Amino acid sequence: MQDGFAMTHVFHRDLTAALPVITGAEGNYLIDSNGTRYLDACGGAAVSCLGHDHAKVREAIKVQVDKLAFAHTGSFTNQPAEDLADFLIAAAPTGTGEGRVMYLGSGSEAMEAALKLARQYHLERGETARAKVIARKPSYHGNTLGALATGGHAGRRAPFDPLLMDVSHIDAAYAYRLQHSGESEEDFALRMANLLQAEIERLGPETVMAFVAEPVVGASLGTQPAPKGYFRRIREICDTYGVLYIADEVMCGMGRTGTSAGTGRYRCRYHDDGQGAWCGLSADCRRDGRRKGGQCHRRWQRQALERPHLHEPRHRHRRRTGRTACDPG
C-alpha cells in the first residue's frame, strides 16, 4: 500500500483495496492463495450460473482449443457456433423462433447490437425517420455509451451525461412505489404500459425506433417482475405503432427464472406476428468468467429472403463466433 493505493497495476474497481488473489474454484466456492474459501452466493451478479470449474465445460473448451483458436467470421463459420445457434433459436420464446443469433462478449455489446440492428431494420424498410428509443427508469442496460444512454440509472449516467444520446424514459412498472392503494394488479399494469403509448404519441409515432425493457428488472430494481398483463399490452402498443420491442434478458434469461427466457416466465410472450429482439446471455460457460452475448434478431432472415436487396447486419465485431466460447454452450 502506497499513498492509500494498493500495489497493483490492474485498474481495479477500488483503487485502494488490496484484494485476495483467487487461485482456484470448486462448485459454489472460490479459493484464495491462503486457502480461504468464499461461498460465491450471487455468481458475480448472475454471471457464473453453472458454478465454477464445471468439468464438462472445461473439457469442451480444451477440445476446441486443441483444434483452432480463431478464424475470421467474414469468411468462415464453425460447427460449435452453428450448433449453439440452432439450440438457442429452438429455445427462444414464442414468436422469436425464426431468427438468427449474434454472439457477443458482454451484455453491453448485445445491447449496442440490438439498438443498431433496430435502426438498420427500419432504414431498410424505408422508415428512415425512426431513430428514437424509449426505455424505462429505473433500469440498467450496460456501460458502453449506447447502453448507458438507454438505461435509466441516474447515478451511473451522471458523469457521462453530456456524451449520451437522447433517450426517453418512462416509469418502470414498480408496484412498491407506484401502485395506487386499491388499484388491482391488472389496472396497474395497464396504466404503466399505457405510458409507452403516451410517449410514442408525444414523440411522433413515425420517429420511434424501439422500446427497451428488462422482463425482470435486475441491477436497478433487484429482481422486479412485471405485473400481470403489462407486457401483453406493451406488445399490442408496439405492434400498433410499428415499434420494435427489445427484451434485455442479460440478467434474467437462459434459465435464470426457470425457463429459457425471462420473457416466457413472466407473462410477456411475443405474439407470433410481433417484431423485436431477444437480447439474452447463455449461462456462463467460459472459465475466464466472461459471458457470451446472444442476440436473436427475429425476422431478419425472413425479411432478407423476401427482399433480396436487404443488407447483412452492419454491426460487426472481429472476435465473435469463437468455437471455444460456443462449444461449451
Phi, psi (degrees; rounded to nearest 5) at 104: -135, 170
Per-residue x/- track, 252-271, ligand PLP (CB under 6 A): --------------------
CB of 291 to ligand PLP, least distance (A): 5
Q: Which of 103, 121, 140, 266 binds ligand PLP (CB under 6 A)?
A: 140
- Contacting range for ligand PLP; rule: CB under 6 A; set: 63-71, 229-237, 245-253, 316-324: 245-253
CB of 240 to ligand PLP, least distance (A): 26
Spatial separation of the C-alpha atoms in residues 207 and 76, rounded to whole Å: 37
Q: Which residues contact 98 (CB under 8 A, 6 or more apart)?
A: 89, 298, 299, 301, 302
Torsion angle in degrees (nearest 10) through CA of 146, 292, 281, 168: 0
Q: Residue 250 or residue 261: which is nearer to ligand PLP going by CB? A: 250
CB of 312 to ligand PLP, least distance (A): 24
Strand partners, 184: none
- Taking CA atoms, 314 is separated from 18, 149, 190, 328, in Å, by 43, 21, 36, 28
Per-residue x/- track, 143-162, ligand PLP (CB under 6 A): x-------------------
Residue type, 326: C
Q: Residue 111 or residue 226: which is nearer to ligand PLP going by CB? A: 111
- Contacting range for ligand PLP; rule: CB under 6 A; set: 52-60, 129-137, 247-255, 263-271: 247-255
284 contacts ligand PLP (rule: CB under 6 A) = no
Q: Residue 197 or residue 329: which is nearer to ligand PLP going by CB? A: 329
Q: Which three cell numbers stand for residue 61?
A: 473448451
Q: Which of 102, 196, 212, 250 binds ligand PLP (CB under 6 A)?
A: 250
| Total residues interacting with ligand PLP, rule: CB under 6 A | 16
Q: Which parts of 83-112 interact with ligand PLP (CB under 6 A)?
A: 106-108, 111
What is the separation, in whole angstroms, between the first and last Cα of the chain?
Answer: 41
CB of 211 to ligand PLP, least distance (A): 15
- Taking CA atoms, 115 is separated from 5, 63, 118, 120, 238, in Å, by 39, 35, 5, 9, 15
Q: Which parts of 182-221 interact with ligand PLP (CB under 6 A)?
A: 214, 218-219
CB 169 within 8 A of CB 137: yes
Stated length of the chain: 329
Q: Which parts of 43-62 interact with ligand PLP (CB under 6 A)?
A: 45
Q: Residue 101 or residue 250: which is nearer to ligand PLP going by CB? A: 250
Q: Is the peptide bond before 308 cis (omega within 30 degrees of 0)?
A: no
Q: Residue 251 or residue 283: which is nearer to ligand PLP going by CB? A: 251
CB 202 within 8 A of CB 241: no
Q: State the greatest distance between any 2 C-alpha atoms of the chain, in Å, as a whole number.
A: 65
CB of 142 to ligand PLP, least distance (A): 3
C-beta nearest to ligand PLP: residue:
107
Q: Which three cell numbers stand for residue 55?
A: 468439468
- Is residue 64 within a helix (H) or strand (E), and if so which, with residue range? helix 55-67
The site for ligand PLP (CB under 6 A) is made up of 45, 106-108, 111, 140-143, 214, 218-219, 248, 250-251, 291
